[in-house]
Structure 1
Amino acid sequence: MTRTYRRLALAALLLALVVVSLGAYVRLSDAGLGCPDWPGCYGQLVGVPDEAHEIHAAEHRFGQPVEAPKAWKEMIHRYAAGLLGLAILALAVLAWRERGRRSPWLEVLLLAVVAGQALLGMLTVTRLLKPVIVTSHLLGGMSTLALLAVLVLRDMATRRAQAKVLPGGLRLLAALALLALFIQIALGGWVSSNYAAAICADFPTCQGSWWPEMDAHHAFTLDRELGATANGALLSGAALTAIHWTHRLFAGLVLVLAGGFGLRLLVRAETRVYGQCLLTALLLQIGLGIANVLLQLPLALAVAHNTGAALLLCATLAATFRVFQRSEARQPYPAAGFTRHFQAVR
């Protein structure tokens, strides 16, 4: 792969991490509806209304006051996401031009995910922060980050010697840890999109109990509006508690699987650095989660918790990619011997 492609893929990966963090910042600072329209803001594709006549016209047209600080947060996020989309489009074009040497379908898939992200971004605004759409948008961002990480890891693997085959049990543990982490990220997105993070202000208990009152039925009904049940009634505190407590309980499973995976990597010389990175990211993420509960969700820590999830995903994905690498294929001994004999006869 060309040097241009490699640099662009790495730049896109870093930009995706920035976009994920900006998205969390916009959501957690209540700026998700800072712009009532899409893709522009109060009818403007560049900037937000700041002159008196622009503000008056925007408020008359959209029927709500212009909050410039929130609007700028949302637009900066959109500009960064747009730039990321262009970078991914360029990657797809470069890969398609070199399709004779390798398949470009991963880049094409990535482009499709980004297109879906744009649609979800629009629906997030037009459907007034409906939780299932907001959570899907977050998962789309994480999926974009993960696919870009795979592109970078794949390119790194092609430029170095094939790695030693690792035990099948380690590969199974890697797959389980990665799956559990993705589910946990989805649960975390559900907590955030339902504003349920502050419902439990103590740790390790919740509301002073190991098993607080919960309403799982309304908590995990997907087709409903923000803060409401499917019937339109106010979403209860018990439902918010169920959302938060489920996320916290599942974090224990992630700790066991991802932690066990990291420890297994740590004892092997060829995977030790992967284990160190994974365990560091895991411990950091757990610490940020506990701090957010005890300090009641300060904005900086809440955004850091989202960024930490992205970093943990990348660390787990890199370790999983390494574990699934295989050494160069070798022929069974009889076949190899037959080949050598045939060449000698010739």
Structure 2
Amino acid sequence: MPKTLNPLQLVADRWQPSARFVERAALACVVMSVIIVVTGGAVRLTQSGLGCPTWPTCTEDSLTPTPAMGINGVIEFTNRMLTYVLCAVVGVAIVAARARAPRRRSLTRLGWAQFWIVASNGIIGGITVLTGLNPYIVAAHFLAATSLLTVATIMWLRTREGDDEPRDVVARPVRQLGWVLVVASALLIVAGTVVTGSGRHAGDASKDVHRIPLDWHEVTQLHVDFVYIVVGLTVALWFALRAVKSPEGPRRKVVELFVVIMLQGAIGYVQYFNDSPEVVVGAHMLGSCLMWIAVLRVFLSLRERGEAPVLPAPAGEHEALQTAAASSR
């Protein structure tokens, strides 16, 4: 009975990507994950959430927007098409991680996790349209996109390290403080989705879109409270890292996180005191992504997993390198 051939194995037999290519492919997934969040925000902020009033087609009779739908239909449909670009980028990352030798199953699993999140979020996006921009589904749509960004960021950072068992580079209480920072930051993002769901940018101006029945100002205050908590935890973590004389890497990443939080906070205040102008809200969504990436970088820097594995050189090549090194002495 003929042996079943795995298409990914066939690619691996004929193509050996460099470690740099795999890392850049993973980074491209991070970039596309941010782009899909920002463009999704643009759909809502331009009142184009129902630019295509149904799903998976744009109208009952057309896959693409019609001229009568105007710019809103184009914006909504373009955001849908970007999902396919995202799938293509994730596909390249999966193939590159699978073809790279020695094979690292952890990277391919992270790649496939991204694929299934994209597919699931596409369905959630369709439900969002079919439910007339239900704010709870919209929030789930954004949180799923944040989950994609999380997995993409982890994959990118994992391409730069090995597969050894994680070893803490700081004392356990400091590592636990890092966990608390991650949880607080996640709650901050969730609170931000509630602010969005109760705020004035419903996503479509042509219909009476349901909003979360909460006082927007009170929810915003809760969101700000979480900002203060995250800032306090970030400062506390920096002092803790200095106290235990941690490596320079984690301390530098904490400083980078603090800068991102300060910039994001400034954007948030401008947004609040100017009645949430669309451009500023879009910048705030971008800042949310950058802050979450910075948080993950801080957390993962508190442990190490050795050097990234490399493919041993063939015997003949190894001998040639030794001869060249000896002749250069």
TM-score bracket for the superposition, by shorter chain length: 0.7 to 0.9
Q: State the partner residue of 2:227.
A: 251
Contact 2:45 2:278 in 1 (8 A): yes
Q: State the partner residue of 1:218.
A: none
User: What RMSD in Å do the two structures reach over aligned CA positions?
Assistant: 2.9
Shift of 1:119: 0.8
Q: State the partner residue of 1:131.
A: 135
AA in 2 matched with 1:273:
R
Give the distance between the partners of 2:237 and 2:40, measured in 1 at CA: 30
In the superposition, the TM-score normalised over structure 1's length comes to 0.72
Q: State the partner residue of 2:87.
A: 85
Contact 2:22 2:93 in 1 (8 A): yes
Shift of 1:93: 4.0
Instruction: Note the alpha carbon deviations across 1:191-246, whole angstroms, 9 max, x for none.
Output: 11222689xxxxxxxxxxxxxxxxxxxxxxxxxx8237xxxxxx4xx643443332
Contact 1:8 1:91 in 2 (8 A): yes
Structure 2: runs of 5 or more not aligned: 1-15, 203-208, 308-329
Give the distance between the partners of 1:179 and 1:106, measured in 2 at CA: 21
Instruction: Choose between structure 1 and 2 for higher RCO, CA contacts under 8 A separated by at least 6 residues.
Output: 2
Shift of 1:39: 3.2
AA in 1 matched with 2:51:
G
SS of corresponding position for 2:161: helix
- The reply on whether 1:306 has 2:285 as its aligned counterpart is yes
Give the distance between the partners of 2:180 and 2:239, measured in 1 at CA: 15
Give the distance between the partners of 1:264 and 1:129, measured in 2 at CA: 44
Give the distance between the partners of 2:186 and 2:199, measured in 1 at CA: 20
SS of corresponding position for 1:169: helix
Shift of 1:261: 2.6
Pick aligned residue for 2:55 from 35, 38, 46: 38
SS of corresponding position for 1:158: coil
Q: State the partner residue of 1:260.
A: 236
AA in 1 matched with 2:270:
A
Change (3 A) 1:90 1:191: same
AA in 1 matched with 2:280:
L
SS of corresponding position for 2:302: helix
Contact 2:34 2:289 in 1 (8 A): yes
Change (3 A) 1:197 1:25: closer
Change (3 A) 1:21 1:97: same
Q: How does 1:147-166 map to 2 (within 5 A)?
A: 147-158=151-162, 165-166=169-170
The number of equivalent residue pairs is 277
Instruction: Note the alpha carbon deviations across 1:152-183, whole angstroms, 9 max, x for none.
Output: 10111239xx9982221221111111111111
Give the distance between the partners of 1:258 and 1:226, measured in 2 at CA: 36
Contact 1:196 1:244 in 2 (8 A): no
The percent of aligned pairs where both chains have the same amino acid is 25
Structure 1: runs of 5 or more not aligned: 56-65, 199-224, 229-234, 329-346
